[in-house]
Structure 1
Amino acid sequence: MNSPFKLPEDSWLKAWRQDFHQHPETAFEEHRTSARIVSLLEEWGYETTRMAGTGVVAYLDGALGEGKTIGLRADIDALDVSEQTRLDYASSTPGKMHACGHDGHTTMLLGAAWTLKQQPDFTGRVVFIFQPAEENEGGGRVMVEEGLFERFPMDAVYGLHNWPGLPVGEAAVHDTAVMAAFDIFTLTLTGKGCHAAMPHLGTDAVLASCQLVSQLQGLVSRETPPDKSAVLSVTSIHGGDTFNVIPEQVELRGTLRCFDMALKAHLEARFKQAIDALAEFHGLTVALDYRRCYPATINTPAHAQRCAATLEDLLGAERVHRDLAPSMASEDFSFLLEQRPGAYIWMGNGMQSAALHSPHYDFNDDLLPLGVRYWVTLVRGLLD
Structure 2
Amino acid sequence: MPTNDRVAEITPEVVAWRKHIHANPELGFAEHETAAFVAAKLSEFGLAVHTDVSQTAVVATLTKGSGKRAIALRAELDALPIEEATDVDYASRNKGVMHACGHDGHTAILLGTAQLLAESGDFDGTVVFIFQPAEEVVGGGKKMIEDGLLKRFPVEKVFAIHNWPGFPKDQIGVLTGPQMAAVDDFEIRFHGSGCHAAMPHLGDDPVLAAASFVTAIQRVVSRSIDPLSAAVLSVTQIHGGRFNNFVPTEATVEGTCRFYDPALSDHCAAEIGRVAQAVAAMHGVAADLNYKRGYPPVVNPVAGAELATLAGRDTVGIERVSTDFPPSMGCEDFAFLLRGVGDGAYAWIGVGDVGPGEGLHGDRFVFDDDIVPVGMRYFLNVVHRALPRVR
- Please classify the TM superposition score into its range, dividing by the shorter chain length: over 0.9
Selected match of 1:381 from 375, 378, 385: 385
1:332 equivalent in alignment to 2:333: yes
Preserved contact between residue 5 and residue 115 of structure 1 (Cα < 8 Å): no
Deviations 1:93-128 (A, max 9, x none): 000000000000000100100000011321111000
Question: Any unmatched runs of 5+ in structure 1?
Answer: none
1:228 — aligned with what? 229
**Structure 1 Cα separation of the partners of residues 16 and 69 of structure 2:** 33
Is residue 2:20 matched to residue 1:16? no
Report the alpha carbon displacement of residue 241 of structure 1 after superposing the two structures with TM: 2.1
Query: Residue deviations 1:43-66, cap 9 Å, x none?
Result: 11112112221100001111x321
**1:175, 1:300 within 8 Å by CA — same for their partners in 2?**
yes
Q: Tell me, yes or no, if the aligned pair for 1:168 and 1:366 is still in contact at 8 Å.
A: no
**Aligned match for 1:346, one of 322, 345, 348:** 348
1: distance between equivalents of 2:32 and 2:68? 34
Q: Quote the residue 1:151 is aligned against.
A: 152
In structure 1, what is the equivalent of residue 93 of structure 2?
92
Report the secondary structure of 1:350's partner residue. Answer: coil
The amino acid that maps onto 1:55 is A
Once residues 108 and 33 of structure 1 are traced to their aligned partners in structure 2, the CA distance between those partners, rounded to angstroms, is: 14
Give 1:350 deviation, angstroms. 2.9
Aligned positions of 1:102-113 closer than 5 A: 102-113=103-114
Aligned Cα RMSD in Å?
1.4
Which residue number in structure 2 is paired with residue 66 of structure 1?
67
- Structure 2 counterpart of 1:359, one-letter code: D
Bigger shift: 242-251 or 124-133? 242-251
8 A Cα contact 1:77 1:134, kept in partner: yes
In 1, Cα distance between equivalents of 2:267 and 2:250: 28
In the alignment, does 2:64 pair up with 1:55?
Answer: no
Alignment of 1:92-241 (within 5 A): 92-241=93-242
- 1:316 Cα deviation from its structure 2 partner: 1.8
Structure 2: which amino acid aligns with 1:376?
L
**What is aligned with 1:356?**
360
One-letter amino acid matched to 1:184: D
Superposition deviation, residue 358 in structure 1: 0.3
- Structure 2 residue aligned with 1:368: 372
Identity %: 44
- 1:294-332: CA deviations, max 9, x gaps? 111111112101111211222122211222111111111
After TM superposition, give the deviation of residue 38 of structure 1 in Å: 0.5
Of the structure 1 ranges 22-31 and 295-304, higher mean CA displacement relative to structure 2 is found in: 295-304
| 1:383 CA drift (Å) | 0.7
CA distance in 2, matches of 1:54, 1:4: 31
CA distance in 2, matches of 1:52, 1:150: 13
SS at match of 1:357: coil
Q: Distance in 1 between matches of 2:191 and 2:302?
A: 48
Contact preservation (8 Å) 1:61, 1:120: no
Structure 2 segments unaligned to the other structure (5+ residues): none
Which stretches of structure 1, 4 residues or more, deviate above 4 A after TM superposition? Answer: none
Give the letter aligned to residue 61 of structure 1: T
- Contact kept in structure 2, 1:6 and 1:118, CA below 8 Å: no
Describe the shift of the 1:157–1:53 C-alpha distance in structure 2 as closer, same or farther (beyond 3 A).
Answer: same
Whichever residue aligns with residue 6 of structure 1, its letter is R
Contact in 2 for aligned 1:122/1:383 (Cα 8 Å): yes
2:352 partner letter: G
Is residue 350–residue 364 contact of structure 1 (8 Å, CA) maintained in 2?
no
Q: Is the 8 A contact 1:172 1:346 kept in 2?
A: yes
Given the two structures, how large is their TM-score scaled by the length of structure 1?
A: 0.97
The amino acid that maps onto 1:377 is N
SS in 1 for 2:74: strand
Distance 2:352 2:105 in 1: 14
Distance in structure 1 (CA, Å) of the matches to 2:295 and 2:354: 30
Q: Could you tell me how far 1:22 is from its partner in structure 2?
A: 0.3
SS at match of 2:79: coil
Tell me which moved more, 131-140 or 353-362.
Answer: 353-362
1:220 aligns to what SS in structure 2?
A: helix
Residue 257 of structure 2 corresponds to which residue in structure 1? 256
Q: Is residue 272 from structure 1 mapped to residue 276 from structure 2 by the alignment?
A: no
Displacement of 1:3: 4.2
Give 1:242 deviation, angstroms: 2.6
What TM-score do you get using the length of structure 2 for normalisation? 0.95
Residue correspondences, number: 382
Q: Report what 2:6 is aligned to.
A: 6
Q: Secondary structure at the match of 1:294?
A: coil
- How far apart in 1 are the matches of 2:140 and 2:339? 14
Distance apart, 1:292 and its partner CA: 0.7
Aligned residue identity for 1:158? F
Give the distance between the partners of 1:284 and 1:352, measured in 2 at CA. 47
| Residue of structure 2 in register with 1:77 after alignment | 78
